[in-house]
């Protein structure tokens, strides 16, 4: 899931790891900060799979005092080496590859990898990259799984063995699911009105 989110960010423009975290939060709606212990390994996996590559390893303000006698090759080696312990700032800027773009399109549209609410929200935040029919497909799948969930939640809330607090938790869960369904419905309504506007003489 993180890999899809990161690929989605890189579809727009290049990013480095530290930047990725902020965007996962404020552009993809992944609420709390995702830990770097997830992000850096995910970037490493994507790189290993050839879906992203390091575009630039910038070492800001390379001191011109000591590099005077270094050949260009040795200087570039120095700036590419990013093992900890190096004495200058390293900043690996990642870029999505053509294969990465393919994989992104495939993953984003794949209904089999749609697991939970966070996953769905993240995909909707990237929905501009989806074909309209794929968008509607994901929305309808999500809607039906939420309806199932609503039935379960209502059942749990009506369990008369629950004390006041536990019952309140269950009722709140029901309200949460209802809110989610209402949201999906507004999104579906928008999709349908767009289809009508774009293809009024269809049929």
Name the site residues for DNA (rule: CB under 7 A): 1-3, 16-19, 32, 34-38, 40-45, 59-61, 82-93, 115-116
Cβ atoms of 53 and 16 within 8 Å: the answer is no
Closest approach of Cβ 14 to a second copy, in Å?
16
Tell which positions 167-186 bind a second copy, by CB under 8 A. 168-170, 172-173, 175-176, 179-180, 183, 186
d(CA 16, CA 168): 43
d(CA 8, CA 113): 15
Tell which positions 28-67 bind a second copy, by CB under 8 A. 28-29, 31-32
Decide: is 25 part of the binding site for a second copy (CB under 8 A): yes
Q: Tell me how many degrees the CA angle 79-81-87 measures, rounded to the nearest 5.
A: 70
Q: Tell me how many degrees the CA angle 76-82-84 measures, rounded to the nearest 5.
A: 145
Contacts with a second copy, 111-150, as mask; x by CB under 8 A: -----x----x--xxxxx--------------------x-
């Amino acid at each position: 899931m993180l890999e899809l989110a990161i690929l989605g960010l890189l579809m727009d423009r290049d990013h480095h790891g530290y930047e990725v975290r902020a965007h996962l939060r404020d552009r993809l709606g992944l609420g709390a900060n995702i830990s770097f212990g997830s992000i850096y390994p995910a970037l490493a996996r994507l790189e290993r799979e050839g879906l992203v590559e390091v575009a630039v390893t910038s070492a800001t303000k390379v001191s011109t005092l000591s590099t005077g006698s270094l050949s260009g090759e040795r200087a570039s080696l120095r700036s590419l080496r990013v093992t900890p312990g190096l004495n200058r700032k390293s900043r690996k800027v990642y870029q999505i590859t053509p294969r990465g773009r393919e994989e992104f399109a495939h993953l984003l549209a794949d209904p089999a990898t749609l697991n939970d609410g966070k996953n769905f929200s993240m995909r909707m935040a990237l929905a501009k990259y989806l074909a309209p029919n794929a968008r509607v497909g994901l929305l309808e799948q999500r809607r039906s799984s939420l309806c199932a969930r609503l039935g379960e939640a209502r059942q749990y809330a009506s369990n008369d063995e629950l004390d006041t607090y536990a019952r309140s938790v269950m009722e709140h869960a029901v309200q949460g699911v209802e809110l989610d369904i209402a949201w999906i419905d507004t999104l579906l309504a928008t999709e349908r009105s767009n289809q009508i506007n774009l293809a009024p003489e269809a049929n």
